[in-house]
Structure 1
Amino acid sequence: MKDLIETSDVQTQIIDAFNFRHATKVFDPERKITESEFNTILEAARLSPTSFGTEPFQLLVVQSPENRELFRDFTWGANGATNGTAGQLGTASHYVIILSHTGATMKAGSDYLAQHNREVKQFPEEVIEMLGGAYAKFQAHDFKLETDADIEKWAARQAYIVLGNMMTAGALMGIDSCPIEGFELDKTEAVLRDHFGIDTNVYKPAVMVAFGYRADGPMFAKTRREMADIVTWA
């Protein structure tokens, strides 16, 4: 009975967290996420699953107001509900740009993948060789990732797994968030390259996400399709 009660409690906490979370447009600038809480969000990112365990993502946490303003003119999705000068860029406690890897590192046979499997995964050489063959087949035959652009899109999908886990971890702690796709890719890459020293041949901005505590409640009630409209059992 105790296990059933504990399981029920966890289920309730999960659903409550998803009902709580909404795309927060303006945060309370006076409220900051503690270091411990944000480290938990980062740990949720680090422990996220990725295809073949390749971890094709990096996180850039942009905290200084001056650095955030570098993105202001072309990151319309972070200017708040009224496209003002505060928005998520100006008010979020923490602002993260999730970068995804490119074909430079994620193409089958790359030195990066071999090093990752050897040093991070700590696989023996025969397993690394076996995985290399399976990964090459996956790219060329199964998912038909034939160009660097194809590989970049695949890596960005892995970054979105990370995004979802970070937001869910935050919601479970009562921390608000907002995923942001409203930015101009070329201009974002230029700032990352020129001001942060990021090699944009290796990393591309996949998505941004702001964290903090809402200044006001949601503008609209949460609505979703009914379960019967999204799930088919076969």
Structure 2
Amino acid sequence: MDNENVKEQVLKAYSFRHACKEFDGSKKISDDDFNYILEVGKLSPSSFGFIPWKFLILQNAEIRQKISPVSWGAELKLPDASHFIVILSRKTADLIYSSKYISYIMENVQKLPQNVIDKRKKGYENFQKNDFKLLENDRAMFDWGCKQTYIALGNMMTAAALIGIDSCPIEGFNRDKVEEILSQEGILDREKFGVSCMVAFGYRKKAPRPKTRPSLDKLVEWIR
């Protein structure tokens, strides 16, 4: 496929994509298509390549029902979405420069030699302490991790739109109450993870309203 066709397909996907309010519960995403969406999430970029996210795929109807009363933004999606993901971000315990998780990523995933690991750890420590001041409080570190989860979120929604699958990103929920429920269900370690956002996937129940966006010149300023 040449570049012009690629650009046309991507723009069509973004025109197709919308925050789907209600899903057709009779239509389900195939395993193959959903694994493709997850693979795109896995391959998404993260700071230092340390992958702060985890995807909880909530297919259990009882758990969906439990979080619905404290997830007002997801209330219409939870009953009928084909797939529903709660995206988690790691917390300070895992993301701090001295953590076992960071060592695991560099040693076992990135497979870096020890001299490179030592150098990267020093740079990562300086970044956390001085550049972004992430060690001043746990919320700063968690918010930094959450920002990165949105890269994976956006990429997965785009990947879905490219093959005609609808999605809806969700921030409308009470974080503490959702985390409490997931913790009680034994699927969330609150010491290491917190809920960043949610996203529903499936097929639209009805056609969306036309997109509304300001013109490009209102959003872009060229500095030459």
Q: What TM-score does the superposition give when structure 1 sets the normalisation length?
A: 0.93
Residue 231 of structure 1, CA deviation = 1.1
Q: Distance in 1 between matches of 2:187 and 2:64?
A: 15
Counting matched residue pairs gives 222
Question: CA shift at 1:108, angstroms?
Answer: 1.5
- The residue type paired with residue 178 of structure 1 is C
* Cα-to-partner distance string for 1:71-109 (whole Å, 9 max, x where unaligned): 011000012xxxxxxx10001000000000000100111
| CA apart distance, 1:198 | 1.6
CA offsets, 1:87-134, max 9 Å, x none? Answer: 100010000000000001001111210111100110111111111011
Task: Specify which of 57, 77, 93 is matched with residue 104 of structure 1.
Answer: 93
Q: Are 1:15 and 2:11 matched, yes or no?
A: yes
**SS class of match (2:78):** helix
Aligned to 1:167: 157
User: Structure 1 residue 153 and structure 2 residue 143: aligned?
Assistant: yes
Residue 16 of structure 2 aligns to which amino acid in structure 1?
F
Give, in whole Å, the separation in 2 of the partners of 1:147 and 1:202: 15
2: CA distance, partners of 1:111 / 1:62: 28
**Could you tell me which of 30, 36, 39 is aligned with 1:40?**
36
Q: Which amino acid aligns with 1:172?
A: L
- Tell me the secondary structure at the aligned position of residue 177 of structure 1: strand
Identity across matched positions, percent: 43
Aligned equivalents of 2:169, 2:7: Cα separation in 1: 24
Partner residue of 2:77? 88
Unaligned runs of 5+ in 2: none
Q: Which runs of 4+ in 1 moved over 3 A?
A: none
Counterpart amino acid of residue 126 in structure 1 = N
How many angstroms apart in 1 are the aligned matches of 2:85 and 2:51? 17
Q: CA deviation at 1:196?
A: 3.1
CA shift, 1:197, in A, is 3.2
Q: For 1:121-160, what per-residue CA distance to the aligned partner results, in whole angstroms no more than 9, with x for missing partners?
A: 1011111111101111111111111221110000000111
Residue 56 of structure 2 corresponds to 60
Kindly state the Cα deviation for residue 65 of structure 1 after the two structures are TM-superposed.
Answer: 1.3
CA distance in 1, matches of 2:186, 2:147: 24
